[in-house]
Each structure stands twice: as structure tokens, then as C-alpha cells.
Amino acid sequence: MSINVTMIRESFATAKPIIDQVVARFYENLASDFPESTPLFAKVDMVKQKAALRQSLIAAVDNLDKPEILSKFLLGLGERHVAYGAVDLHYSWVGQTLLKTFGQFFGAAWTPELSSQWTEVYGVIADVMKKGALAASTAQVRSISGRERLTSNDTPALITAIEAEVPALSIAIREEIRLVVRATVLKQIKAEVKKWFDEEMHDIARTAAEESTRKAG
């Protein structure tokens, strides 16, 4: 289904004068319908959070007919949300809550067609943001696993990137990340074995030389 940009903008124009109320209700609905989301905002400045959501909605609607600008904006937004711990499930919560909130404010104007159009819009927003998040997560793991040697300081980052982020990724990407990490670990093991072997051979050679000198003496 193609997005009716005119319909989306006209409906959003009616919400703009009360956008702060809409955003406030959104977070109330999110906490009520998905209480598991509450810890995500425990240390968040909600005034700034609400302002960010308001501006993001405005930017998305304003650029619906400018795919290059919209994609760049949403990819960056998705990338930043990796740091907030956002995963696929959270996008689902937000989508359901956003549509419910619009329905509450639009009332009779919230027709099946308008609901369907906003569902389509949010689907585009979420999909592009997930791509940004995926790129950021994969880059994070590659940055760590691509080093010559892992250190104990890398452990928290690996745990976050793999155990927290990977469940939200596709099976193919999860396997790719596993292979990258596995290859790096194997490389380290081989380096350690070679180092041990070289040291053993050096000891053997030194012992043989000493024994030869002792016998000669």
C-alpha cells in the first residue's frame, strides 16, 4: 500500500496544536499497556524525551515525500537508539501505543483508512530505524572483534552487543557476528599456541646446548 502523504499531513495538522498532550498521553499509554517499558525511562529526563518524540514525529511527517532526507534522519535515529538499549520488541510497543494514542485524540476522524495509513507510516519509520540500529550494532561488534587481541575491558561491550542486541537481529546477521567473533577467538588461540611452542622449542634448544657444553667440558 502506498502512503497518502496528504492524508497523513492533514491529520497530523489537527494534532499539532495539542501535540504536547498527545505525546504525554503516549507515554502514559506506553507505561500502562507495556509496564515492562518503564525501566527504559528510569534515568531519562522525560521533558527532553517528550520533546525528542515531538520533534521526531514532526520531522518524519514533514519529510515523507523526501525519501533521502527521511532515510538519513531515521537511520541516525535508529543508530542512537542502540545506546538506549532499544530492540525490535520495543518498536512494536511504540507502534501499538502511537496508533492507540492517535485513535484516542482523533475520535470519529480515526477511520480504518486513516489508521491503516498511519500503520504504514510507522512501519516505514520502524524499518529504517532498525536498519540504522543493525548497522550500529554490527559495527560495534566488528570494531571489538577485529582487534588483534581482545582484553578484559572488551567483555562488557561484547556482552552488550551480542547478548543484548543480537536477539533483535536477523538469524543471518546473528550468525555473521558469531563467525566474526569465533574467528577472532581462534586467531588468539593460535597465537597463544604458537607463542607457547616457540618458547618450548627455545627451552629445548637451550637445554640441548647446555647439555652439549657440559659433556664437552
Which tens digits make up the pLDDT trace of 157-205? 454 454 444 444 444 555 555 566 566 656 666 676 677 767 777 777 6
* Half-sphere exposure of residue 8: CA atoms within 13 angstroms, side-chain side: 21
Alpha carbons 209 and 37: distance in angstroms, whole number: 70
pTM over 0.75: no
Task: State yes or no: pLDDT of 148 exceeds 90.
Answer: no
DSSP H or E run through 95: helix 88-106
Higher-pLDDT residue of 151, 12: 12
Burial of 67 (0-12, 13-18, 19+ CB in 10 A): exposed
Name the 3-class secondary structure at 42.
coil
Residues 142-165, mean pLDDT to the nearest whole number: 50
pLDDT on residue 174? 52
Average pLDDT value over all residues in the chain: 80
Other CB atoms within 10 Å distance of the CB of residue 82: 22
Which tens digits make up the pLDDT trace of 97-131? 999 999 999 999 999 999 999 999 999 999 999 88
pLDDT on residue 82? 77
Report how far apart, in Å, the C-alpha atoms of 140 and of each of 82, 146, 159, 163, 169 are: 10, 10, 11, 13, 14
pLDDT on residue 208? 65
**Three-state SS annotation for 115-171:** HHHHHHHHHHHHHHHHHHHHHHHHHHHHHHHCCCCCCHHHHHHHHHHHHHHHHHCCH
User: How is domain 5-147 classified at the architecture level of CATH?
Assistant: Orthogonal Bundle (1.10)
Q: 156: pLDDT confidence band, cut at 50, 70 and 90? A: very low
